[in-house]
Every structure is written in C-alpha cells, then in structure tokens.
Amino acid sequence: MSVDVEVVGSAPADGGAARGRGTWSLSWHGLRTVTELELRQRVRSTRWKTALIVWFVVVGLITLLTTGAFQILSDDSGLGGGEPFGGTVYSIVVGFVLFLGLLVAPTLSSGAINGDRNAGTLATLQVTLLSPAEIVLGKLAAAWIAALAFLVASIPFLAWALVGGGVHWFALLTTVLMLALVLGVVCAIGLGFSALVSKTSGSAVLTYLTIGAVTVALPILFGLLVPVTSTTEEVEVWDIEAGYDWEETTAPECEWRTHEMPVWHSERTWWLLAPNPFVVVADAQPLQGDVQELANNANMLAMLQYGVRYARTGDTGPQDWCSDFVYENGREVRPDSPVEPVQVTDQLVWPWGLGFDLLLGAGGVVVAVNRLRIPTTELPQGTRVA
C-alpha cells in the first residue's frame, strides 16, 4: 500500500541527530552490517550467479578467439618469429572487459535504494541506529564487491593475454586497479540516481545515459570542436627545395620554408577526452617500449594512449615534410632532421580523467546520503515508506 507522507517534527534537520548520530556518522560495525545484508541478498540471487557464469564464458571465448585469430594471421604472413602480438590481444581483452563492466555495473547499484524503498524495507534500516552515510556506503561497498567479482573472473584471461608478450608485466596490476576504480565510480553514480528517482528503471536509464555521455558524447564533442579550435597560421616547415623536379635521380635538398596552413589547437579541448573510462585505463598502462612504435604495431592501448597525449601536447611548432620523402636512385634516404620529434611521454591524461570520474562518483554518494536524511520534511507523491 502506497501512502503520501509529509513528515514534520521538531527534531533537528541533520539526519540521525535525533538519536544522537549525524548524517555522516560512520562506524565499522554499521558499514559491515549493511554490506553483509546486501551481499547475502546477492549471493542468494540466482540471476547474479548466472550473470557471473555467462561473463566468465564470454570473456574466455573472446580471449581464445582473438588469440587464435592472431596466431593464424601470424603463421600465414610468416611473422611467427617477428613482433609478438600479445599486446594487441591484451588490449582487445581489456577493452572488452571494460565494455562489459560498463554494461553490468549500473545494474548492481541503480536499484539499491529505490528498490528497497518500493519493497518497504528501506524504512526499516532508517529507523535503526544506522546513519544515512552507513546505509549508502554499505550499499555501495556491496555493489562494488559484486562488480569486482566479475573483474576477478576476468583476471585469468588478462594474464593469458599478457603471456603473449609485448606488454609489461606491471600492466596487469595497473589494468586491474583502474578497472576496479572505474567500476566503483559507475556503482556510485548508479546509487546516486537510485536515491534521486523512485523507479528502478529510471535510475538505470539515467546511469547509462551518464556513462554514455562520458564515454561517447564527450569524444564526439571533441571532434565537433575541431573547426572552432583551428586557426590559419604561418608555420615553419622543413620542406623539399622549391622547384625540385621529381623526375631527377638525385635526392632533393631540404630547406626551411614558410607555409600558411590551418593549425589545430587540440591542447584547448583535450580535457574532453580525459574522463573517458577507456582513456583512463589505456593512459595508465606502463607500456613496454616506445609508445609511438607500439601504436604503429596495432597495440590499441598504445594507440589510445599516444593519441590522447598527442592531443594534450597540441601544436608542436615546426614540421618536417622532407626527411621521410627523400628518394635517391629508387631508395629511400632519411637525412637528419632539424625538427625535434614530438614528445608525449610526460603528458599524462589519466590523473585528470580519474579525478573527474571520482568527483562524479562522490557526487552520487553525497546525493544519496542527503536523500536518506531523517526526518524528511516532504516526500514525493506516491513514495512508499513502509
């Protein structure tokens, strides 16, 4: 039975103060109690177990198919003793695990509060000595642990891909750590929407929209702003000598020339890419070898890392249009270039992106705690209390 309730009393507005505890009061016992209650419900759920088994099978299948495909390509092209393809397989598996994680994590927390409210069990927790912060953080911990169970099920396949070579062993630790933090952020966002709206379907949709905005909409906006952030400027170019006849057999001389051309200042909008979970995970990887060389070898983590760091570097000044295009007697000649290569090693992006994501997750927690404060002056129409 649903009732419309307006609770008005003389108790202080700070939730829990009427019983001597504040809204943000925390204790290990309270957190553990709520977490254990939530986890016991999930463990008893057959849907969660089924989802975990399906996750394990799908990730394992993708890993085996990807490894087999690249092994066949390597054998057919005669590259068996060449560059290891483990980096490519590893990056594919990491990207697939993160993609599945972004699909699964919102379902673990987006109904944690409004689901209990609709079932009439949330009020039972609120009238105990548990503070709103303990209820919210306990539910968040349970959802995060459930999400980490999916991540743990993926570790054997990440390790298998790592054995293929081409990736630093320390990358497995940073990958798991970043994936765990991203999943925690998604759970926190879902928890905030779960406290904000009354329908579990509505909170799930809002969580997916938020993740979609960070993952898809911001990179699209980054691309749409290219014309706005491009200006026509005079650029010094190390170019082929003026008037060179390409029919000649001797290599051309290189000289400095000035060209008026559009210059894209990506350093003004790179921050739009930083919060992307795929960027955060890729940019934090300690890649083995030169980043640009790995990117050229189809290591997608390296490609993404090099791309976002290059975007943050922006306009690099003089350009070399000559050294890579000098031929003499049909052979490529690479003269020394006076233009320094672009250095992107120190242009880290992941700390900024992870910081933004953590603030987004913290915002979800703050919203959820404030929505559970008691006494509540007014509840939305149709809200079930008990």
Q: How confident is the model at residue 12 (pLDDT cuts 50, 70, 90)?
A: very low
pLDDT for the residue 301: 84
Tell me which of 304 and 378 has the higher pLDDT. Answer: 304
Residue 120 in tokens? 């009439």
Instruction: Tell me the chain's radius of gyration from C-alpha atoms.
Output: 27
Could you tell me if 137 and 31 are in contact, meaning their C-beta atoms sit under 8 angstroms apart? yes
Average pLDDT over residues 342-364: 90
Model pLDDT for residues 71-80, shown as the tens digit of each residue: 777 665 544 4
For tokens 């904000």, what's the residue?
Answer: 196
pLDDT for the residue 380: 57
The ranges assigned to domains in the chain are 17-222+350-371
Q: How confident is the model at residue 297 (pLDDT cuts 50, 70, 90)?
A: low
- Sheet strands side by side (includes 230-240): 254-264, 230-240, 319-320
- CA 315/CA 266 separation, integer angstroms: 7
Sequence-distant (6+) residues with CB within 8 A of 67 are 89, 160, 161, 164
SS3 string, the chain, reads: CCCCCCCCCCCCCCCCHHHCCCCCCCCHHHHHHHHHHHHHHHHHCHHHHHHHHHHHHHHHHHHHHHHHHHHHHHHHCCCCCCCCCHHHHHHHHHHHHHHHHHHHHHHHHCCCCHHHHHHCCHHHHHCCCCCHHHHHHHHHHHHHHHHHHHHHHHHHHHHHHHHCCCCCCHHHHHHHHHHHHHHHHHHHHHHHHHHHCCCHHHHHHHHHHHHHHHHHHHHHHHHHCCCCCEEEEEEEEEEECCCCCCCCCCCCCEEEEEEEEEEECHHHCHHHCCCCHHHHHHHCCCCCCCHHHHHHCCCHHHHHHHHHHHHHHCCCCCEECCHHHEEECCEEECCCCCCCCCCCCCCCCHHHHHHHHHHHHHHHHHHHHHHCCCCCCCCCCCCCCC
Whether the pLDDT of residue 35 is over 90: the answer is yes
Provide the Cα torsion 183, 185, 188, 189; round to 10°.
Answer: -110
Tell me which of 177 and 3 has the higher pLDDT. Answer: 177
- State CA 39 to chain mean position distance: 25
Q: How confident is the model at residue 2 (pLDDT cuts 50, 70, 90)?
A: very low
Query: What are residue 300's phi and psi, to 5 degrees?
Result: -70, -30
Model pLDDT for residues 83-117, shown as the tens digit of each residue: 556 778 888 899 999 999 999 999 999 989 988 88
- CA 219/CA 2 separation, integer angstroms: 44
Tell me which of 383 and 100 has the higher pLDDT. Answer: 100
Average pLDDT over residues 42-48: 76
Cα-Cα-Cα-Cα dihedral sign, residues 76, 79, 81, 87: negative
pLDDT for the residue 144: 95
Nearest to 113 by CA among 134, 132, 131, 139: 139
- CA 84/CA 73 separation, integer angstroms: 12
Please list the residues that pair with 177 across neighbouring strands: none
Q: How confident is the model at residue 292 (pLDDT cuts 50, 70, 90)?
A: low
Model pLDDT for residues 198-251, shown as the tens digit of each residue: 898 999 999 999 999 999 999 999 999 999 999 888 888 877 777 776 666 666
- CA 282/CA 369 separation, integer angstroms: 33
Most confident of 18-32, 108-122, 157-171, 217-231: 217-231
Whether the pLDDT of residue 4 is over 60: the answer is no
- CA 327/CA 251 separation, integer angstroms: 6
pLDDT for the residue 278: 96
